[in-house]
Structure 1
Amino acid sequence: MATLLRKIGLIRLHDRDTEDPKHYQGSFKGSKSNQKNNTKHCNTSSDNNILNPPDTKTKKFEQSNKDKPPGKEKQTSKDIKEKQQVAASKAPATPLQPLVPHRQHCTQVRTRRLMKELQEIKRLADNFITVELADDNLFEWNVKLHQVDRDSALWQDMKDTNTEYILLNISFPDNFPFSPPFMRVLTPRLENGYVLDGGAICMELLTPRGWSSAYTVEAVMRQFAASLVKGQGRICRKTGKSKKSFSRKDAEATFKSLVKTHEKYGWVSPPVSDG
């Protein structure tokens, strides 16, 4: 029996010794490689958990930089600086104060002057002239001249024809009193006396060259009354001439023509001192 057991043991030992050791080595290597693979797999998964997020951000940042055209940010900042410099150069150093329009200022000056003159004319004691606003327009007057030299032929004509006054129309320009008014005779129709077609009046002081802002309407009308007498003005009694219309258009055209003539040959109307 002992001999049999020994033989069985020898056979097992012989079988173990005769087995290919590579088989065990392969199993061992396989187990080691499996361990290495498992380890590497765990390390890879752990690497993904830790390193992947910043790695992804880096790739996205690099991709976004690739999508942007080169030098765009620098160019934009440069453009902004240039625009700021241009805006600064155009901007005034100090804020400008709003200016009063020239036309509005002239209207205020003209209004104050005419209101003052209206009050002064109303206070005249001799009733030399009276004034009515044409269509309630402060800048256009209908002036009635009630008196001329009582020794003149014109005064006699006024008495004979029951003419109480000589009616004139006066228009004041925007820049009055720095420019002269335009004045013309409406009724009656006059001959001579420096009164021309359309009722235009030949007087140097009614031109820009002869005008002064110190002249008042009263002073102009007194000068006109004197020129009528000195120019031997008469009331026109001829039927054809008396019916001729005195339009403003005709008066303006006549006045422009006579101004050109007198600027070339000189003025012969009586000076202001004769009034």
Structure 2
Amino acid sequence: MATLLRKIGLIRLHGRDTEDPKHHRGGGGGGGGPQSASLRGKGGAKSGHKPAAPPPPPPAAAGAASPGPGPAKGRRAAELGPAGAAAAGGPRERAAGPGPGPAGGSLVPAARREHCAQVRSRRLMKELQDIARLSDRFISVELVDESLFDWNVKLHQVDKDSVLWQDMKETNTEFILLNLTFPDNFPFSPPFMRVLSPRLENGYVLDGGAICMELLTPRGWSSAYTVEAVMRQFAASLVKGQGRICRKAGKSKKSFSRKEAEATFKSLVKTHEKYGWVTPPVSDG
């Protein structure tokens, strides 16, 4: 019986050695005597198993262990080019580049702003010269605080058959005063235009002196429009809209407000962009 158990134990040890290479190196539990040691040796000889050599360190680890850029980092920088070399280099290499500072990032916008300022200035200078040469003295211009981009424009004439012209005569109003401010990208964007005095009713003049005209909106504006053309269109819309000089007590002397005009104009632009600029029939209210 003991002999049989011993044989069974030897068979089991032999089977484990042939199935699992781990048993070639480690000591066994219940069968770890001289016979099991000889079986492990025989199993190792038959399978030809040799301990694997330790793998070489990866390139990243070798590069990290050695100071300086090293050949691996040099090859990588060469493959990436100058920008890649600056990104892969140390702090000294990164400091050598221009970096994303404000000076490097604002060169193109600064040049664009300068170009837009030149275009706007040339255009407005030409506009002033053309207005000064008008033979009918339809309008005249005064610069606000000597700024080329902020004008007070006097509208001296409207249709002489209109009730507005009669109001101007009766109230000794020599002109209708408007303010025009020109944005940075003029003439590609419209000026902001509002009435300053006198206080008008109707004629597409709204709260604060805002003016309801499509050509004064980004959607209706064209860079071909001149200030003279805009003013002539405004004079026509005053007459078409039955504009009158306000004579109501307490209201006639109330000044228009720029802040109120800007808010009103912004609101009317949103409304017309939603519903269009077509005037509804009178029957529709």
Q: Specify the TM-score bucket, using the shorter chain as the normaliser.
A: 0.5 to 0.7
CA–CA distance in structure 1, aligned partners of residues 71 and 276 of structure 2: 73
Q: Among the aligned pairs, what percent are the same residue? A: 76
Distance 1:74 1:268, change over 3 A: closer
2:114 is equivalent to residue 129 of structure 1: no
Tell me which amino acid in the other structure corresponds to 2:222.
Answer: S
Q: For the residues of structure 1 that align with 2:112 and 2:159, how far apart are their CA atoms?
A: 42
RMSD: 2.4
1:170 is the counterpart of 2:164: no
Matched, 1:114 2:124: yes
Aligned to 2:74: 80
Matched residues in 2 for 1:73 and 1:207: separation?
65
CA deviations on 1:106-139 (whole Å, 9 max, x unpaired) are 1111111100100000000000000011111111
CA pair 86-150 structure 1, distance change in 2 beyond 3 A: same
* Counterpart position of 1:208: 218
Q: Name the amino acid aligned to 1:77.
A: P
Deviation at 1:73, TM superposition (A): 7.8
Q: CA deviation at 1:72?
A: 3.8
Q: Secondary structure at the match of 1:150?
A: coil
The secondary structure found in structure 1 opposite 2:137 is: coil
The separation in 1 between residues aligned to 2:79 and 2:207, in whole angstroms, is 66
Contact 2:199 2:255 in 1 (8 A): no
Q: Which sections of structure 1, spanning at least 5 residues, go unmatched?
A: 1-70, 92-97, 270-275
C-alpha distance in structure 1 between counterparts of 2:201 and 2:120, whole Å: 33
| Whole-angstrom distance in 2 between the partners of 1:226 and 1:120 | 21
Secondary structure of the 1:242 match is: coil
Following the alignment from structure 1 to structure 2, what is the Cα–Cα distance between the partners of residues 216 and 75?
A: 64
| Count of aligned residue pairs for this structure pair | 195
Aligned partner of residue 209 in structure 1, secondary structure: coil
Using the TM superposition, give the Cα deviation of residue 84 of structure 1 relative to its aligned residue in structure 2, in angstroms: 4.5
Task: Report what 1:222 is aligned to.
Answer: 232
Q: What runs of 5+ residues in structure 2 fail to find an aligned partner?
A: 1-64, 86-106, 280-285
Q: Which has the higher contact order (CA 8 A, sep 6+)?
A: 1
Residue 198 (structure 2) pairs with residue 179 (structure 1):
no
Deviations 1:70-97 (A, max 9, x none): x848972333343444452548xxxxxx
**Amino acid corresponding to residue 273 of structure 2 in structure 1:** E
1: distance between equivalents of 2:68 and 2:219? 67
Q: State the partner residue of 2:53.
A: none
Once the two structures are superposed, the pairs formed by residues 2-151 of structure 1 within 5 Å of their partners are 72=66, 76-90=70-84, 99=108, 101-151=111-161
State the secondary structure of the residue aligned to 2:149.
strand
Distance 2:79 2:148 in 1: 53
Q: Does 1:261 align with 2:271?
A: yes
Structure 2 CA distance for partners of 1:243 and 1:90, relative to 1, 3 Å: farther
TM-score normalized with structure 2 length: 0.63
The two structures have a TM-score, normalised by structure 1, of 0.66
Paired AA for residue 149 in structure 2? F
Give the match for residue 196 of structure 1: 206
Letter in 2 for 1:219: A
CA-to-aligned-CA distance 1:53-74 (integer Å, 9 cap, x gap): xxxxxxxxxxxxxxxxxx8489
Flag the structure with higher helix content.
1
**Structure 2 Cα separation of the partners of residues 233 and 222 of structure 1:** 15
- The answer as to 2:240 corresponding to 1:240 is no
Q: Which residue of 2 aligns with 1:9?
A: none
Other structure's SS at 1:246 match: coil
| 1:234-270 C-alpha deviation (Å, 9 max, x unpaired) | 000112222333111100111111112222332246x
Q: Distance in 2 between matches of 1:105 and 1:84?
A: 39
